[in-house]
Structure 1
């Protein structure tokens, strides 16, 4: 999922504490930390610590919600003995931090909600602000932390709706008092988390002020705020009659042409112009070279190209001129075809069709057009379409290269190109000499908005297939995992996989919870009230809140089009363990079941139970069944945890038979033969 840069500051801080100089870039999976002298133990200590604390926070969530000791132990035990959580916490990964922040936000909100009868007290404010801070930390790790806002925000909306009720048992609130409650929650759970979030980016911009490998994702204006920026150092002013190589900013494909022509008919029966093909090509060669010519035919070679100039582009190898016209492109019937025209036609009958406007992004009138740093859109002058490309390859007739066409939508960032180099300019030309420039500044919010847009865009581009990607419907049933690392010589493999027994029990109890609610509603419709008020309130409000947390952290993935992996389910899995602990208490608390069944059989309302709503807990003798159920479940889970431990820790030496015994659901394990 989309990673915020703020979590990386934590790892950078750990590296700074141990004196790490950042020489190792973590480029390739399998590179030796020891050989490269990476303080990996220090880096692993951060997720390990937070992952360990997550178990404690899970226990406290159940305890603060008023559940019995076996329910608390079961929920915490399902997280403690889960191989997926262990796999995330023992490696240098981000999701342990995400899950910890999400768990802290739930715990803080529960503590805040328990103080609802002491509104605006010091403790009330403390836990409200801590809830907002935890939410801010959650979204600062990954943007899926927004799901925690949805979970808690939904509970807050329900709470406010109850406060608005004029018939509430504790007395109706006046509208000014209700407004105070609303404003307090808006400040504590929206405004303050946003300010916390902005603060971490302020730290980010202050600390990371030098040029690095992520520069290409940012605009030239942003890059001018970074010291030692190579792009700006290599920027050269472009003159007319320079020969250029043009690159698409997002796909890194060069504007390319060759002598082959479009076919007469495409597969869908549409007719082309049979003109010379213009394509996007990933490799640099002479067919990517274009000479920029002035629209007025001036022969002044020292004249600088400027923003909004009308130009022509001559393809040097074929001696033809780039053009677009009102013919549909190969893949997009609504977009215009790009082709080339002969020099005679370019300055004759097709003169208008070969004119293009250089429109520099965020450029000023008269701004000089420069290589590398001037990101621009090439707008076809007569038709006002932007030159655009995409990653879907053309058929064999187009040599599997990218289609170039005219996009009628001018605003998308996917229309942006840059001049990668002036190929006709010698290396020792005076134009390439650049004096040292002072680092510029940009307003904080402008930099922040650009970075947010960049992160969102690149996250949405993660749509390609991956051998270990999975779909949301596979996660609750643990149908497949992810191979993190293998070592052929020692037959070692780290395979990211949850604890199958634990996941299946938790997922089954989610279904049981839905069934219980449906059965209760059906019984009420038939006049049979088998639950007392406190039990039903606990079931719907507390366990229902845990179920809501699970649902809001799970179902949104069904509408995402990007790559998805098993680790995206970890926050939802933690929520499912909370539901599991609550239901084991509900099902296996002996006196609650017996009284409810007896009352239902007699057609009477059961006597009040000792189910708590505000701190009162079960008497010990009623928890025997819950303890037995907890012991049996955790014993099975512990056995499954131990059985899959070699895959979690990458133990050496598993033989073929041992690997095959662990392919429970066809897990794609290595060394199975």
Structure 2
């Protein structure tokens, strides 16, 4: 009886057809077995995720980032990140319900240890719920494809017993949220596909709209969600092609299907995605002086309600005014300097000129005429305000360090084909390399007439001696430059098509000049702010790469990995919590190697399936459904894995998690099919014992493997020697702590 129930293909649920000949008792027994299996794996997952979830008792891996982002949302302070906002807003909502302590300072300079109160446990438990949802959705997705309870059970067993899936889902990260939305998108699209024989019905529309909602939510967490968008899009294209090839239906039917998918799979996700940014900007209402505001333009900064100085800011830049220079390149930031000098090996021990994302006193510059010694005293009664105009020759003095912006024909430290920009020359000293020509990027600008305006003008600074144009370099400074973005001077000179040469005046302080309401002139609309947020995110993502000007950083080299390493578990990722608790994020070899073997076996199985289909054209609908489902899962695995091979950004082991779930679902379906093949063989003990025996053996094996890999799933506590302890449980020499 148990064997019959495990391999049942009976459909349960509302609106599903029941197979004839099944007695009510059989259907009731199967329903009980189905729900018992689902509830068992759900409860087991929830219990394991919650077990000692407070360890490590310090922010682990990227938890420090998302705790800081959650704090920003709860305090309303603007921040910039490389990911869309939805996942971070969900974490913030969990932090709000858990009463997160926002008074605790959170930074990357030291390990963040959780305080005595237990809000961090509640936040971890809130995020871990998404890990439980992953298991439930995987179960339902495999069931929808295979109609096999044992296939769904094997899939969830492998997921629950994997150390990486377990460890990542116990921390305050975006990955649990992202993976569940990906799985839910795939499940909704499969359910929608199952309704294709009854188009435009209520259930058909509900699953179409739910698929669109899930796609929008996925893409609003991380841009990795684009892969599942492509997956569902390919399914929609295939479905439309079938509609087109159906000669029994007219062209109008194809148009109706096309328009319905445009609404459900395009319009709904886009509107939902954009709405998350509207909410993001509404929640983060304090940002005029927030850390990282240099990522954005001066117009964007003006839009914050706490930007009160705009009504007192002169619209025209005068000689002697204290200003900040903001690069047009996102993200680069404000032109800045300090008392730190370039190392001697770079040719000139002058002050380092860089670009800083934060506003502080080091960003303050003053415009001087070429023949002026000291900066004009704006507090003096003799001060006469004269505007800086297009074509003027000026010198720029840093108000804090009292050094001029200077350049000479010495190679920049990082961008070697450009000249070095430095801070050089005392207040009363005159050097030709410190003279710059102001060129406004405005058609029809008249030399000596058209004034330089705060916020409203874009301009270039061209060195009068070398002819080079000041701009951001191509990379960041190493540790001696505190990781700030390099400022350099392009020897090619003026290039009207190069936006990297453009600058903007943000702050413009001059008490002798009447202020102007700059908000009324330049404040951005919500749509324009969303566009700029995307520009910054895309530019920031493009810069997530290794900068090896001093050799690859040791920690980065330890943490990063390559796509070919992930399926074979060549390298995981260390996740140090504290000196008394260490984690190593890596998958369970027992699970990953089974997935790898099944993926390698799929081509052979596919050939066998095609041969059987050709020899027996009238195969049951079950075979066609499973074949289509396996192709869908395989495409999902490929779309979430293969694109990483072409990426030049820094990659880590957790980028394989979505692909892992798809490959595990493939394993569940294939292993179940192999068990079914064994049942058809003539066996002396009876076919009814084959499936229960194999499932019991698989369960015992993987439960034992989870216990064997306990330290990989939960980490290793110890008295200052946890790193040495966890090394005892690393399987391969390539696994480095």
- TM-score by length of structure 1 reads 0.75
User: Please, which of 451, 473, 486 is the counterpart of residue 389 of structure 1?
Assistant: 473
Aligned residues: 610
Residue in structure 2 matched with residue 450 of structure 1 by the alignment: 532
The alpha-carbon distance between structure 1 residues 261 and 437, as it changes in their structure 2 partners (threshold 3 A), is closer
CA distance in 1, matches of 2:163, 2:457: 47
Question: Structure 2 CA distance, aligned partners of 1:135 and 1:306?
Answer: 51
Note the C-alpha offset of 1:130.
0.3
Instruction: After TM superposition, give the deviation of residue 191 of structure 1 in Å.
Output: 0.7
**Aligned to 1:589, what secondary structure does the other structure show?**
helix
Q: Which of 578, 587, 590 is matched with 2:677 structurally?
A: 590
Please state if 1:405 is matched with 2:484.
no
Q: How does 1:406-485 map to 2 (within 5 A)?
A: 406=490, 414-415=500-501, 430=511, 442-464=524-546, 466=556, 467-485=558-576
Give me the CA root mean square deviation: 4.9
Tell me, in whole angstroms, the C-alpha distance in 2 between the residues paired with 1:24 and 1:481.
Answer: 31
Question: 1:330 touches 1:403 (CA, 8 Å); kept in 2?
Answer: no
Query: Residues 418 and 588 from structure 1, CA distance in 2 versus in 1: closer, same or farther, beyond 3 angstroms?
Result: same
- Give the Å deviation of 1:542: 1.0
Q: Is the alpha carbon distance of 1:292 and 1:108 closer, same or farther for their aligned partners in structure 2, counting shifts above 3 Å?
A: same
Match in the other structure for 1:312: 394
What's 2:732 paired with?
665
Which moved further from structure 2: 575-584 or 527-536?
Answer: 527-536
| Separation (CA, whole Å) in 2 of partners of 1:121 and 1:180 | 13
- Match of residue 203, structure 2, among 108, 123, 128: 123
The 3-state SS of whatever aligns with 2:559 is coil
Structure 2 equivalent of residue 206 of structure 1 = 282
**Residue 292 in structure 1 maps to residue 367 in structure 2:** yes
| Per-residue CA distance 1:530-555 (angstroms, 9 max, x = gap) | 99575763454110100000111111
1:470 Cα deviation (Å)?
Answer: 1.0
1:378/1:573 CA distance change after superposition, 3 Å: same
User: What displacement does 1:503 show?
Assistant: 1.4
**Within the alignment, does 1:215 sit opposite 2:293 as a pair?**
yes
How far apart, in 2, do the equivalents of 1:434 and 1:38 lie? 50
Give the CA deviation at 1:486: 3.5
CA distance in 1, matches of 2:161, 2:300: 46
Greater displacement, 290-299 / 51-60:
290-299
How far, CA to CA, are the matches of 1:231 and 1:31 in structure 2? Answer: 35
The Cα shift of 1:180 comes to 0.6
Report SS of the residue matched to 2:717: coil
Which segments of 5 or more consecutive residues in structure 2 lack a partner in the other structure?
1-80, 377-381, 547-552
Report the Cα distance in structure 1 between the residues aligned to 2:696 and 2:87, rounded to whole angstroms.
Answer: 37
Residues 1:148 and 2:228 are matched in the alignment: yes
- Residues 644 and 163 of structure 1: CA distance in aligned 2, closer, same or farther (over 3 Å): same
Distance 1:438 1:155, change over 3 A: closer
Query: How far apart are the structure 2 equivalents of 1:623 and 1:107?
Result: 31
Give 1:599's aligned residue.
Answer: none
Correspondence for 2:662: 575
State whether residues 588 and 709 of structure 2, in contact with CA within 8 Å, keep that contact through their aligned partners in structure 1.
yes
Q: CA deviation at 1:459?
A: 2.1
Matched, 1:356 2:438: yes
Structure 1 counterpart of 2:44: none
Q: Report deviation, 1:578.
A: 1.0
| 431 and 76 in structure 1: CA distance in 2 versus 1, 3 angstrom threshold | farther
Work out the CA distance in 2 between the residues paired with 1:233 and 1:470: 51
Q: For 1:495-542, what per-residue CA distance to the aligned partner results, in whole angstroms no more than 9, with x for missing partners?
A: 222222111211221121133335666x699x8779957576345411
TM-score after normalising by structure 2: 0.69
Equivalences for 1:517-536 in 2 at 5 Å? 517=606, 532=619, 534=621
Q: Give the drift of 1:637.
A: 2.8
For residues 38 and 445 of structure 1, do their structure 2 counterparts lie closer, same or farther at Cα, with a shift above 3 Å needed? farther
Tell whether the 8 Å contact from 1:589 to 1:623 is kept in structure 2 after alignment: no
Contact 1:472 1:554 in 2 (8 A): yes
1:487 aligned partner:
578
The 1:664/1:471 distance shift into structure 2, 3 A limit, reads same
Pair 1:194 & 2:194 matched: no
Instruction: Say if 2:707 is the partner of 1:642.
Output: yes
Match of residue 502, structure 1, among 591, 601, 604? 591
Aligned to 1:94: 174
Asked if residue 180 in structure 1 is aligned to residue 259 in structure 2, the reply is no
Between 1:440-449 and 1:529-538, the stretch displaced more is 529-538
Label 1:631 to 1:190 Cα distance change in 2 as closer, same or farther (>3 A): farther
Counterparts in 2 of 1:581-660, with a 5 A limit?
A: 581-590=668-677, 625=690, 627-653=692-718, 659-660=726-727
CA distance 1:366–1:45, change in 2 (3 Å) = farther
Q: Secondary structure at the match of 1:472?
A: coil
Aligned counterparts of 1:218 and 1:367: Cα–Cα separation in 2: 23
8 Å Cα contact 1:307/1:359 also seen in 2 = no
Runs of 5+ unmatched residues, structure 1: 267-273, 596-620
Q: 1:262 to 1:204 in 2, by over 3 A?
A: closer
